Structure 1
Amino acid sequence: MSVKDRVMKIIAEQAVLDVEDVKMDSTLEDLGIDSLGLVESIFSIEEEFDIQVPFNANEPGESEFDISSVASIVKAVETLVSEQA
């Protein structure tokens, strides 16, 4: 399973949606994921990929981790995974 598929699965689980309902251009807000759901998603992503996500829940706008859309999250995770390899 690709990084993209695994990230989309985690996001779908947090949003309580089918993976098919999670689109690359969706925002977390579109999917109904609030700040708590975002933090839980980040934890799940870190656990799934054994990576450290540079994200400050208190100041999400100041974070290096782009959460503006599903596509940006997938890209950021792919980058973190490749840097770790």
Structure 2
Amino acid sequence: MADTVHDKVVQILAEQAMLEPGDVTMDQSLEDLGIDSLGLVESIFAIEEEFDIQVPFNANEPDKSDFDISSVAAIIGAVQGLVTAQKG
């Protein structure tokens, strides 16, 4: 598989932020990227569709979810965890 989880998640977030993937860094938050709550929902739908996974419905409430959206790196890690769990 040429495209990694990392590359695909960065591409989805970059598209939502109207940036080039190369402009997205691992330590940026969604707020840093200019992605608002609606953009988060659209990003989650795109991630679910791309990876055929189910992101927890409360992902936008960090204190209630294991799906960490605090940074680009955290989102990639959370998606990788879901993808790995699905394969298991």
Question: Superposed, which structure 2 residues align to 1:59-74 within 5 Å?
Answer: 60-61=61-62, 62-74=64-76
Give the TM-score normalised by structure 2. Answer: 0.90
Question: Which one has more relative contact order, counting CA pairs under 8 Å at least 6 apart?
Answer: 1
Quote the RMSD (CA, aligned, Å). 1.2
Match of 2:49 among 47, 50, 57: 47
- Per-residue deviation, 1:60: 1.5
- Output the amino acid matched with 1:60: E
Identity %: 67
Q: After the TM superposition, which segments of 4 or more aligned residues of structure 1 sit over 2 Å from their partners?
A: none
Give the TM-score normalised by structure 1. Answer: 0.93
Aligned to 1:13: 15
1:18-56 CA distances to partner (integer Å, 9 max, x unpaired)? Answer: 001100111000000000000100000000000000132
Specify the SS of the correspondent of 2:77. Answer: helix
How many positions carry a matched residue from both structures?
A: 84
| Aligned counterparts of 2:71 and 2:22: Cα–Cα separation in 1 | 16
